[in-house]
Amino acid sequence: MNVDISKILKANGESLDFEIEKNITDIENYPDVCEFLSPVKVEGTVTNFEGEFLVEAKGSTTVVMNCSRCLKPTTVDVKFGIKENFSNTGKEETETFLGDTIDLTSIVGRSILIGLPMKVVCDEDCKGLCPICGKDLNEGDCECDTTYIDPRFESLRSLFKLDEEV
Binding site for Zn ion (CB under 5 A): 67, 69-70, 72, 122, 126, 130, 132-133, 135, 142, 144
What are the two backbone dihedrals, phi and then psi, of residue 55, each rounded to the nearest 5 degrees? -100, 120
Compute the least distance from the CB of residue 156 to Zn ion, in Å. Answer: 26
Alpha-carbon gap, residue 130 to 143, rounded angstroms: 10
Compute the least distance from the CB of residue 117 to Zn ion, in Å. Answer: 14
Query: Please, is 142 exposed, middle or buried when counting C-beta atoms within 10 Å of its C-beta (0-12, 13-18, 19+)?
Result: middle
Closer residue to Zn ion, CB minimum distance, 22 or 127 = 127
Q: How far is CA 94 from the centre of its chain?
A: 24
Closer residue to Zn ion, CB minimum distance, 5 or 69 = 69
Closer residue to Zn ion, CB minimum distance, 3 or 129 = 129
Closer residue to Zn ion, CB minimum distance, 28 or 143 = 143
Compute the least distance from the CB of residue 112 to Zn ion, in Å. Answer: 23
Alpha-carbon gap, residue 77 to 120, rounded angstroms: 11
Q: Where are the alpha helices (DSSP H) in the chain?
A: 105-115, 151-165
Compute the least distance from the CB of residue 119 to Zn ion, in Å. Answer: 11
